[in-house]
Structure formats: C-alpha cells, structure tokens
Amino acid sequence: MTVRVKICGIRSEDDLAIAVAAGADAVGFIAGTTHFTEDGLDAAAARNLSRQVPPYVTRVLVTHLQDAVAILRLADQVNADSIQVHGEVSLGTVRAVVNAASGRQVIKAVHVTGAEALDRAVAAADSCGAVHLDSRTDDRLGGTGFTHDWSVSAAIVQALAERNCPVILAGGLTPANVAEAISVVGPFAVDANSGLEDDRGDKSTGLCRAFVSRAHSAER
C-alpha cells in the first residue's frame, strides 16, 4: 500500500497550490495554538484556505487547544475533514472530541521523547482513529526540524498494528530522509512542514514535489 503524505503548515494560497500540485494526499492548517509556530492561522484565514482545497485532498485542522468544545468549534469554523489534536490534552478530552466529531477522523499526537512514548501511543490508540508521532522541544509541539528515535516509532507501529490503528510519522522529515524513515518505521503516512520550506518559510515547489514522490514510491 502506498504511504500517504500530508504537507502541514499551509499558510497561504501559494503554499496550498504547491502542496496540491506536488500530489499531497492531505494538507494541514495550524490554528488554535499554545506553543510557538511560524505557521499559525486564525480561524478565518484557515477557513478561507480550506475552501480552496480540491476534492479528494483531506483538510486537517492541527490544533493545540485543550478544551473539547473549543476544538470542535474550531473544526466547524475551518470545515476540516480531520482533526489533529496536537496539544497536551488528556485522553478524556480526545474521547470527547471523537464522540462529537460528526464523522471526522480524530488523530492524537504523541511526542516521541523516549521509550515511554510506546505506552502513551498504545493508550492513545484506544481513544482515537490514528496516532501522529512527532518530535518536540520545550517551546514547540511540532515543526521542530528534528528527527526522533525511529526505533521507538517502529515499535509503536508494530504495537498499534494489532489494534488496527494507523500511525503517521512526522518530525524532521525531508526529501533526503523520508524513504529511509518509511523503510525503518513502516508508517501508514508521513507528515512534513519545515523540511519543505525555503529560506522565507514558504513551501518550496521542488522540495514538496520530491518529498511526495519519494514517499509515494518508498517501500515499507
């Protein structure tokens, strides 16, 4: 099965056009943030971009919000197809979002900071539709540009396969390392943001095309 690709941190019409032209399966709009990101949007800007996404490309709201009602309200405003709960939230909050998500897929971020991420991912798998593995720093919950220990991520993929829970791999992925990451970890999908940007922080046509092509052709 071909590995699916999400390009995250879409913040302009040009970013969106580049990601879609590159063949991305999904695009991510970051809104409702509590930690630093250069790519944060307000609800109106995210909604405007969401309306321009063509059919069969999944619109993903990526949010740090910690209240289920606020998360769901923002997803409605953005008209997202999927909700990536990327903040420091309880599994109870995740379940509340899932229960009221009106058919939207709910994805829970798990930050791979050590071997303990395996237990957190297994616990999350019973509360959501997919688990998103990412790197983090003290002030960033994503977009760090840093990879993490892929051996831990690979163990998570194996453990969650028994639960039929897809795993999305992120964290420092670029066209140069995505094929290796897929080979080592074996994720359902990969997700990149800062590794696909030019010096101005805008999405690069060449980097996005190379990333999607190499991910789609990689062997797990």
**What is the DSSP-derived secondary structure letter of residue 9?**
-
Contact residues for 163 (Cβ-Cβ < 8 A; gap 6+): 122, 125, 126
CATH for 62:
3.20.20.70
Q: 110 is in which domain, residue-wise?
A: 4-217
Question: Quick one: DSSP state of residue 135?
Answer: -
Print pLDDT tens along the chain (220 aa): 899 999 999 999 999 999 999 999 999 999 998 776 788 899 999 999 999 999 999 999 999 999 999 999 999 999 999 999 987 888 999 999 999 998 899 999 999 988 999 999 999 999 999 999 998 665 665 566 678 899 999 999 999 999 999 999 999 999 999 999 999 999 999 999 999 999 999 999 999 999 999 999 998 7
Distant-in-sequence, close-in-space partners of 135: CB < 8 Å, separation ≥ 6: 111, 112, 142, 144, 146, 147, 148, 170, 171, 172
Which residue, 68, 135, 63, 121, is CA-closest to 98?
68
Alpha-carbon gap, residue 165 to 159, rounded angstroms: 9
Place of tokens 């250069």: 38
Running DSSP on this structure, what letter comes out for residue 54? P
Which residue type does 127 have? S
- How many domains would you assign to the chain? 1
**Per-residue pLDDT, 88:** 80
74 is written with which tokens?
A: 């923002």
